[in-house]
Each structure stands twice: as C-alpha cells, then as structure tokens.
Chains A and B, each alone.
Chain A
Amino acid sequence: MTAQARSRIPGAVPETPVSSGKLNVERIRADFPILKLNVAGRPLVYLDNAASSQMPQPVIDRLVRYQTEQHANIHRGVHYLSETATAAYEESRRKIQHFINAREDREVIFTSGTTEAVNLVMHGFGRKFLTAGDEVILTTLEHHSNIVPWQMLRDEKGIKIRVVPINDAGEFLIDEYEKLFNERTRFVGVMHVSNALGTVNPVKAMIAYAHARGVPVLVDGAQAAPHLKVDVQDLDCDFYAFSGHKLCGPTGIGILYGKAVQLERMQPFKGGGDMILSVSFEKTAYNAIPYKFEAGTPPIAAAIGLGAAVDYLLALGMDAIATHEHELLEYATAQVSGMPGVRIVGTARHKSAVLSFTIAGVHPHDVGTLLNQDGVAVRTGHHCAQPVMQRFSIPATSRASFAFYNTMGEVDALVAGIRNVQKVFG
C-alpha cells in the first residue's frame, strides 16, 4: 500500500527495473520492504549505505526458502538436505566467482566479512612469510580493519608499516607511493574505494607497480564491490576482500578472493572441521583451497543469500548502478557545496557514492541526531578511519552514502535536513 502511495504515477511504472541502461528506481524501490518505513513520522531516507545496505525481497525470499526447505550442514551428510544445502552453497561460490571474474571458484573463500578476510591474509600470508624488518605499505585512507591486523603483525614480528600520504582532496599521491618501495617491501594493502571520503583509488596502476617489484597486493574492496564492476583478473590483485551486507546481502558473510597460487602456499587461519583431510593426534593434513580456509560450519544461509544478492545486482547491471549513483553524487555535491558553512571533506576527481561533510559550529553527532528527526539516516563519526580524520584535523564527519535505490528527492531531503540543522544551531 505504502509503495503504491509513494509511486508518483500509480500504474504507469514499467515492469522492468532497467531500460536502455537507466535504472527504474521507483520499480527497484518496490523490491525493498524496509524503504517503506516511516521514521520519526517521515518517510525513511536511508543514506547510510556505506555502513550497510538494505536487502531486496528476492534475497529475503532466498533466505526463507533455504531455511524452510534446504537447511542442513554442508560437506558432511550423504542425505538429501545436506546435499541440497551443499549444492546451493557451492553454487553461490560460483556466482561470486563470476561477479568478480575470478579464474576459478576455489579462489573464492567465504569469510565473515571484509575484516575477517584481511585478518585471514595477515595470519595466512603475513605470519608465514614476513619477518623482522620486512615492510608493508598501507595508505592513509585505510579502514581500521586494514591497519590494525598489520599492527598486530608488527608487534609480533617486528615488521615495519609505511603509509602513503593523501592530498587535501583525499587522493593519494602515486609518486609518494612509489617512493615507499625498497628492497624490504613485502606486501601492499590498499583500499579500492575510501569509506570515509569516497575516493576511488588507482589500484590497477598500484598493483602493476608493486608486481614489477615482486610485491603482492591486497585490495580492500568493501566499498567498491557494491558500486562498480570489479574484475580481479583485470586488476591482477593477489587478494580482494569485500562484505556481503554492503552488497544487499546478509551480515556475517564476506569474501576473500585470492589467487590460487597465493592461497595454496599460505598457512590456514583457523583450525577445525572441514579444513582438514585427516586428523590424528600426531599429524593433520589440511584440505585443499578454498576449504583449507573455511574451518567449522559456515553461515550457510548467509552465503546462499549473498549469491542471491549478486544475482540481483547483476540483473540491474553494475554499469547502470554506477551511472545512477554517480548522478546522485553529482547532484548532492552540487547542492551541498553551495551551502554556506558546509564543507565537503573528500573532493577527489574520482569518487564513488560517498558525501562526507562538516557543518561549521555543529558537531557531527548533533547533525546526525537532528537529521534522524527528519527521517534521514546518515553515519556520523570517524568512520573507522581515524587517520583520515587526523589528516583533515577534524574529529568526525557526517557522511551520506548512496545506493542505487536512492532518489534525487532523497538528496533534496538531506539538503533540507542540513538547512534545518543550521537553523536550530543558528
């Protein structure tokens, strides 16, 4: 009922979600039950997609179908349900393989999310191959999840962390990156798209430069996979990590892509069932990849749900998604940059759908609480990227982050909300 009431011309909405490369956003929104919510008596304007995006009905339905008709433990039983669940789980792995264009399905490892994926690389690769004095290059833009694991390795092994600086626009300086390489450089960790600023980093060129010096590269793609076409073979990255719940999938599931040649020489991260071939108290033989890295019963429903989410995004088309989100960002940037007292933080030439901003004289947490009173959901805080905040000498920002189901009208609601904040604090 609400969906119909909200649609501007009832009955005139075409059935297809995409036509001639353009998204039919009204049609798409009808797939997302949560977008019909009212918050504080206003229609929900959900602009916190970089933290977590919402789930469309086909993904919800897939979770329900799995739980009502297909659930059993995987890779174990010979009975019908176990075989059905195993087939669905492995089919989801292949869907994700195609989504990122991995060469083989065994290069796709289910993790609990991006954070666990990075930790897996730190434990599986870093702890095995890095020794005292070795250097890891990270960037100022990194999320804490791609900083802290390497600091743990530093404290354990005595490795050195070197950091690529960024300019005032929030872009990092490729020549500064190149200068950080030396004979002790062993690993590079870089974010594809900045969660705090939206900067799209030139990861392909960075990977090529590192590879020319024999250095493997991990790309944190948590903010890229939902918004642009990711081709791990074209990037030629050694590792690529992303999360399901930022991709319209469930929480508790994420992906580590790794080149088979890397994964095979790494040590396991967690020990337990499913990651072994044989166990005795004297000796254990590890399973082949990807199972070597999937100890214990995984979140099976979530993994299958992520496959359904990938299907949903691919049906819309990643290019159409990127085009629509770019239009939202351009429109929002134009609106907000014209507002006196509002400063956009992160003005890179290549940006994804993130608009971080500060309002003069108003703490971001007050901005967030007041916007919430208008039904507008934004993230406020340091975005788990305190080094970025330190770089701009601010404690926090407010961040609007867009998804393909957002509308220009919602950008207008954000702008009106910012005006109201300024009025209250005026």
Chain B
Amino acid sequence: MADPKALYQEVILDHNRKPRNFGTLSQASHTAEGHNPLCGDHITLALELRGDAIEGIAFQGESCAICKASASMMTAMVKGKTRQTAETLIKEFRDMATGALDVGQGDHHLGRLTVFAGVRDLPTRVKCAILPWHTLHAAFNSVSSTSTEAGDDPMHAPIGDA
C-alpha cells in the first residue's frame, strides 16, 4: 500500500483492529442505531451529553473496516468536545467523503480524518465511511435509528444542518 491515496492506510487498519471507545455507556443520554442495508453495516452509538458537552461516547456493531475505523476515529475526535464542534465535523466529513470539500484546499477541522478522503473515488464505499457520522447526527437529534437508504439517505437528506 505504497500509494498515499490508497484507502487502506495503516491508521485505518489500526483503528479497525483496535477500535477506540468500542462498547456501551452506562449513563448514555442519547443512543442511535445506524444501518446500511446495502452492505449490512450496523452500528449502535451511545452518547453522554452534559449540556452541550460530549462527556462520553461509545459505539458497537458489525461493519466493514472503513465503517469501523471511521466510527473509532470519530469517537476519539469528538469526545470532550462540544456538540457544535461535532456538528461542524459531521458536515465537513460528509463534504470530504462526497467530494464537495477538497481537504488540500479549503479550510476545515478534520485533521487525521483526512485519511478517509480517498473514499470519494469509491462511490460504493462513501456510505460506509459516513454511516457513523450520520448516526451521531441522529443521536444528537434523539432519532433512535437511521439508515443510509430511502428517506434517511444522507446523500439526499443533508446532515449537519439541524
């Protein structure tokens, strides 16, 4: 995997092997399930919100490496941050994955998450990367389950503008 644009970079493989914040929260204030029926990816996300602060976050589920690494890195990134910061990241991540944001050009706060920029060249995998973010957005809004398809499709019902 010498190609720096390749999706399966070591950081993604590492988060897939050893996902951070993998499990449940004993004091979750918000939970949501995310499902991608096209590939079977399924994650459950638990949040502990105190005011606007994300005190705790955890996820569980069965998914491909892209989805699991995305969820793992997302939880590591937003833990301890505010809901507003997370909402900004949700929007920026989605824009990066769909090609609307060129991470080499525009201003953004994605940091290490730019390892997922390569998914924009793989249309069938975009939703794998977006699913955790889409589910986080659902949890913030007290929506108990969401999907990457039909009425909940993040491609058609933009997330991050709530």
| Interface residues in chain A, defined as those with a beta carbon under 8 Å from any beta carbon in chain B | 362-366, 369-370, 373, 380-382, 395-396, 424-425
Contact = CB atoms under 8 A, between A and B. Distances in A.
Contact of A366 (B38, B62, B66): B66
Interface in B56-70: 62-66
Given A373-B6, A381-B39, A396-B39, A365 B125 contact: yes
A160 to B, nearest CB: 26
Nearest to A381: B39
Given A366-B66, A369-B122, A382 B6 contact: no
Interface residues of B, number: 18
A424 to B, nearest CB: 6
A395 B6 CA distance: 25
A373 B2 CA distance: 12
Main secondary structure on B side of the interface with A: loop
Contacts of B16: 425
B38 A381 contact: yes
A356 to B, nearest CB: 15
A365 B6 contact: no
Nearest to A394: B40
B8 A424 contact: yes
Contacts of B62: 395
Contacts of A425: 13, 16, 65
Contact of B7 (A369, A380, A395): A369
Nearest to B63: A363
Contacts of B64: 363-366
B43 interface: no
Which are the 7 A-B pairs with shortest beta-carbon distances?
A395-B40, A363-B64, A365-B64, A366-B65, A365-B39, A366-B64, A396-B40
12 contacts: A363-B64, A364-B64, A365-B64, A365-B66, A365-B124, A369-B66, A369-B122, A369-B125, A380-B39, A382-B40, A395-B39, A395-B62
B157 to A, nearest CB: 23
Contact of A362 (B7, B40, B65, B124): B65
B1 interface: yes
A363 B125 CA distance: 12
Nearest to B119: A369
Nearest to A373: B6
Contacts of B124: 365
A364 B66 CA distance: 12
Given A369-B122, A382-B40, 12 more contacts: A366-B65, A366-B66, A369-B7, A369-B66, A370-B8, A373-B6, A381-B40, A395-B39, A396-B39, A424-B8, A425-B16, A425-B65
A191 to B, nearest CB: 22
A365 B125 CA distance: 8
A370 B1 CA distance: 10
Contacts of A382: 40
Interface string B1-23: 10000111000010010000000
Nearest to B6: A373
B13 A424 contact: yes
A424 B8 CA distance: 8
Contacts of A370: 8
Nearest to A368: B124
A382 B6 CA distance: 26
